[in-house]
Amino acid sequence: MKRVLLSLMILLCLGVPTEAQEGVQTPEPEVEYWDYISPSSVTGRRKRTRKERREWRKHYRLVYNFNRVYPFALVGRKLMHQIDSTIAADNLDKGVRARYINDVEKELLRLFEKDIRNTTISQGFLLVRLVDRECGHTVYDIIKDYEGGFAAGFWNLVGKLFDQDLKSHYDPEGVDKDTEELIRVWESGAWDEFYWEIFGKHPEKTVIVTDRLSTTARQK
């Protein structure tokens, strides 16, 4: 439509009579014409109800937060597999295993502390759910396996202060149904297009520095 309007303005300007020198022919300008204009319609925007606005904001936040934290859940699955494989393959005794876990924690802190500190509470809650889906263990179980029951109980209590149960499992047919839909979009390879339709821009990519740890088990 803008192109058509611009052409009309040019035609109007060319149609204004001008004084020409006698005996000098003014060349005919080359004008491009269109014999078809795509039909268009203008409709009013329906005013959303308060409930609809609330649900839209909720979905908006979920898509944004999912884009931010899902890559961490995916890399967490790889790192957890590496840690478990190392412990099993080396048949670590209790002392060596404890040192190895401590070294792993230090490396994870060095690699991901900045990223985790920049996440919001709602993003942290979503990451807890996604970790359970990808790793097959709740965050409570992971802490209990690596740190012991006391630490797991403590962090579960902290989670409840923010209305988050670290023992709860991912529920793709229930409370996590909307998240599961986003995962299907992600796995289909259409995430960028899906995100663009909602926000009108390409998603900001979460950069993962590595998906493999360099820490090894240290013997006495």
Buried b (16+ CB within 10 A) or exposed e, 75-100: bbbbbbeebeebbeeeebeeebbeeb
In a domain, 101, yes or no: yes
pLDDT digits (tens, 9 = 90+) for 99-126: 888 888 888 888 888 887 888 888 888 9
- Report which of residues 132 and 186 the model is more confident about: 186
Q: Does residue 79 form part of some domain?
A: yes
Q: Is residue 54 part of a domain?
A: no
- Give me the domain span that covers residue 133: 73-170
With vertex at residue 32, the alpha carbon angle to CA 27 and CA 36, rounded to the nearest 5 degrees, is: 150
Q: How many CB atoms lie within 10 A of CB 111?
A: 17
152 part of a folded domain: yes
Q: Say what the pTM is.
A: 0.71
The reply to whether 36 falls in a domain is: no
Residue-wise pLDDT tens digits, 59-114: 999 999 999 999 999 998 999 899 888 888 877 788 888 888 888 888 888 888 88
And the tokens for 155? 């962090």
Task: Give the total number of structural domains in the chain.
Answer: 1
Residue 69's CB is within 10 A of a number of other CB atoms, namely 24
Phi then psi for residue 109, to 5 deg, are -65, -40
Which one is predicted more confidently, 35 or 173?
A: 173
Whether 214 is in a domain gets the answer no
**Whether pLDDT at 27 is above 50:** no
